[in-house]
Structure 1
Amino acid sequence: MKRAYSPKDIAAKKWVTLPWGEKWNKPFGFPAENASWFISGASASGKSSFVMQLGKELCKYGLVLYLSYEEGVNQTFQRRMEYLKMNEVQGKFRVVVDETYEELIDRLKKPKSPKFIIVDSYQVSEWEYPDAVALMKRFPKKCFIWISQEKKSQPMGGGAIRLRYICDMKIRVVGYKAYCQGRAIGEAGSYYVVWEEGIIQTSNNL
């Protein structure tokens, strides 16, 4: 029989949280380092820039592995890295483009393997929902960040919708603003500014 937790057991649990500054804790609170993230957004919403900015911030707290399944390392990806000065985290940030599920497991089993894993995108990875869940259960001390395409303002596909439900941090990027939509204890109504000029342009167009 599996263990049943009492209120006292749950109250005694301790979490190592991300000690980031107001720019991040105001919209997202102080999530655990191993919290799971689900980030969605329409095309041209600022989602890719937000994910890269989040990856750069997380480099302060451990190695980051970016699985660029959707874009690969194309010209747009290169320009985004240059614009966000990713060279500043040269020793902490790595990108792979065609690693299989099994190869990723082998990589994460190694000593000093990445602490934060960004999967961009869940749909292009072609992994099934049980694969994603199994990966998080196998490496419970690591942080998995799932990026999702959208269709009609919702995560694309039943597997992505199910994955969103179980993730700790649910983020949606709209009009160059990243909003937390669940389980974080951030300031109500706040959002992360992905690109200030883009917000101004969008507002003017509206």
Structure 2
Amino acid sequence: MADSILDTTSGPVELRRSPLAATAAGVAEAGAGGGGVRLAERPFTTMVGLRVVPGSTAADAIGAVLGAPLPAGVGEVTGEGDHRTLWLGPDEWLVVSDGSREELLSRLRAAAEGPGVAIVDVSANRTVLELEGPAARSVLDKGCPADLHPRAFGAGRAITTTLARVPVLLWQTGEQTYRLLPRSSYAEYVAAWLLDAAQEFLEPVG
């Protein structure tokens, strides 16, 4: 995994550095090793923070752009296609998208603006770590106080919690797949902790 991207194809040169640049080799090895768990970074994911009054005309307009109403309660995730929206609070959400950051921001701001509406690019605020495999929950249980048993948590749910005492957004995207969204300043620590916690489940590369 490259630790930076240099784009010279058009316009000004853009140099972006992954928050996990220093641990890139370890994360890449964990992703290739197989075994009971795999770890990978999804760098430079588009993320947009939303603040709006629930049920308002602006909230409905934002939901129309995203393809689904904004989540209404704790743990809920809505969306389709490239966009998923995670509930953060009664009037706060995080949109995580595989699409263009500029296009998404433009469409959201065109649909809803004015007093009481905040649409902010927070893509650089966090990175995304994906942990998957039959042992993924066992790894997380070593450092996460939340009950991740299927009776309490499952695919399509996301919560704010801690991992190894660090605040993270934890989003279960599949039966054995989790995405962790730590703030960029904590990303290397979280990745290093996951690599250590997963050692017993990893198969050596080569």
TM over 0.5: no
Return the structure number with greater helix share: 1
Return the structure number with greater strand share: 2
Q: Give the TM interval when normalised to the shorter protein.
A: under 0.3
TM-score, normalization by structure 2: 0.25
